[in-house]
């Protein structure tokens, strides 16, 4: 017989399960090991642990890939090694690590091709253009990540350049085959989306700066815009699909719109948050959102904004006489604010509003232009929550956070005169005061 079967010389055997002593780290259950590895703050240290054995690798992957932070080039390299991409640039199937990602930050996303003209000797114009391959690859990797990752909780685009925008012609397309049954799309939601401008820049916000995300997520719980200008052209970009946004935060944003119009993207928004308010005009962002939705129920305001204070004798003093009418209108529950049910004042440095000899005064007369009138007018709203700004004291003590320099006796004396105000006051770590006596 010319050909014969050659038998195997070695018979495959299952690897024996090692028997470790009770005090060995390998004898611990995976739940305890996961907790232990979670306290390792160094990612290189987690990588070294994961390379020791297969079991440690499976446990450390959850911590290594949970929060990722890349610049544009590193993000593209990550996508080529972990994601399926067109033109055979990536792998065939997505890596198992993709669905471990909870948060991803991309710094300085690339801008699209820009045509430029260069003059030579003052006479000859030469048209030049930047290479667009990096931008196109970035868009492919970003879209592939959104397609494959169903565990992602937060996306941050940091240091967005003035010319950055997603293309409007690369949205997800359905199959053109008439014989294929269309697949049922799963409704997805993204808990948090953040966009930040480049350092030192205040850029106009545009929908096409984050429009690609709408092709993959139907709901966005929280949209946060940092250092943007909100003007009339915010929603002028042509996009195929929008998402439902529940909460929008404007942090250090400037309002410059000349006319108010309905923004379909904000039609279901029920919460607006203003942080680091720079000018009185920026308070109009409340009306900007309220004009697009009928379900605005929660308002959050950063009371540490310099807008609300005057500097007198080197000390910050809250300008009650100027802003009490504004808060009275917001909490009135009438007209355009009829749907507002909860006002949350964040980082309120209440110590600047209370006199040092307050406890020694026998009778406290509520001043309409002071703290008493402020709290009384704010108490009209159904729910009022105040978060006390924490003070960091004494470098020798390691920056210990304290509630404030106001004693708890002060709170009880204030609210004894304000019975019926629906108020909750939180310190950095605990509840200070709570009174829901008038809530039905």
**221-273 per-position pLDDT tens digit:** 999 999 999 999 888 777 767 889 999 999 999 999 888 888 989 999 999 99
Helix axes 54-64, 30-38, angle to 10 degrees: 50
Mean pLDDT, the chain, whole residue set: 81
Q: Which are the contacts of 120, defined by CB distance < 8 A and separation ≥ 6? A: 126
In b/e form, how buried is each residue of 70-85, taking b as 16+ CB within 10 angstroms?
Answer: bebeebbebbeebbbb
Helix axes 133-148, 72-82, angle to 10 degrees: 50
Residue 436's pLDDT band (cuts 50, 70, 90): low
Task: Identify the CA nearest to 62 among candidates 104, 97, 106.
Answer: 97
Residue 68's pLDDT band (cuts 50, 70, 90): very high
Which residues on adjacent β-strands are paired with residue 244?
219
pLDDT over threshold 60, residue 48: yes
Segment 291-295 shows an average pLDDT of 91
pLDDT at 6: 58
pLDDT over threshold 50, residue 205: yes
What does pTM read for this prediction? 0.83
pLDDT over threshold 70, residue 29: yes
pLDDT at 177: 40
Q: How far apart are CA 433 and CA 428, in angstroms?
A: 13
pLDDT at 182: 46
Q: Which H/E stretch holds residue 21? A: none
pLDDT over threshold 50, residue 440: no
pLDDT at 178: 41
| Per-residue pLDDT reduced to its tens digit, 117-146 | 555 555 555 555 556 789 999 999 999 999
Segment 92-109 shows an average pLDDT of 90
Tokens of 76: 């593209």
pLDDT at 94: 80
pLDDT at 41: 85
Say if residues 390 and 403 touch (Cβ distance below 8 Å): yes
| Per-residue pLDDT reduced to its tens digit, 339-383 | 999 999 999 887 777 765 555 566 666 677 788 788 888 878 888
Q: Which H/E stretch holds residue 433? A: strand 431-435
Phi, psi of 87 (to 5 degrees): 60, 30
């Amino acid at each position: 017989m010319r050909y014969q079967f050659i038998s195997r010389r070695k018979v495959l055997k299952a690897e024996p399960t090692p028997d470790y002593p009770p005090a060995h780290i390998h004898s611990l259950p995976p739940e305890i090991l996961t907790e232990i590895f979670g306290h390792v703050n160094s990612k290189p240290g987690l990588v070294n642990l994961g390379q020791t054995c297969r079991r440690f690798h499976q446990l450390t992957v959850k911590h290594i890939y949970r929060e990722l932070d890349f610049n544009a080039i590193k993000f593209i390299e990550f996508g080529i090694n972990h994601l399926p991409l067109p033109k055979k640039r990536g792998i065939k199937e997505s890596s198992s690590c993709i669905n471990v990602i909870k948060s991803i930050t991309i710094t300085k996303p690339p801008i699209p091709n820009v045509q430029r003209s260069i003059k030579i000797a003052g006479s000859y114009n030469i048209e030049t253009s930047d290479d667009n391959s990096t931008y196109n690859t970035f868009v492919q990797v970003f879209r592939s990540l959104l397609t494959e990752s169903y565990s992602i909780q937060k996306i941050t685009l940091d240091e967005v350049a003035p010319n950055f925008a997603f293309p409007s012609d690369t949205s997800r397309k359905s199959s053109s085959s008439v014989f294929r049954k269309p697949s049922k799309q799963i409704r997805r939601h993204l808990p948090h989306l953040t966009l930040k401008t480049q350092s030192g820049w205040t850029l106009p916000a545009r929908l096409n700066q984050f429009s690609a995300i709408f092709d993959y997520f139907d709901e966005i719980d929280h949209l946060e815009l940092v250092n943007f200008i909100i003007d009339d052209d915010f929603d002028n970009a042509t996009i195929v699909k929008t998402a439902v946004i529940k909460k929008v935060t404007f942090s250090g944003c400037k309002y410059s719109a000349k006319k108010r119009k309905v923004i379909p993207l904000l039609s279901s928004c029920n919460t607006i948050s203003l942080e680091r308010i720079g000018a009185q005009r920026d308070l109009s962002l409340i009306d900007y959102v309220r004009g697009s939705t009928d379900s605005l129920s929660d308002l959050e305001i950063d009371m540490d904004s310099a807008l609300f204070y005057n500097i007198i004798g080197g000390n910050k003093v809250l300008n009650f006489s100027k802003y009490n009418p504004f808060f009275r209108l917001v909490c009135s529950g009438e007209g355009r604010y009829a749907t507002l049910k909860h006002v949350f004042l964040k980082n309120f440095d209440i110590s600047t509003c209370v006199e040092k000899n307050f406890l020694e005064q026998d009778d406290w007369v509520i001043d309409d232009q002071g703290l008493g009138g402020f709290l009384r007018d704010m108490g009209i709203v159904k729910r009022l929550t105040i978060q006390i700004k924490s003070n960091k004291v004494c470098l020798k003590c390691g920056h210990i956070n304290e509630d404030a320099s106001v004693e708890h006796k002060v709170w009880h004396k204030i609210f004894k005169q304000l019975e019926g105000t629906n108020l909750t006051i939180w310190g950095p770590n605990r509840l200070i005061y709570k009174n829901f006596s008038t809530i039905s």
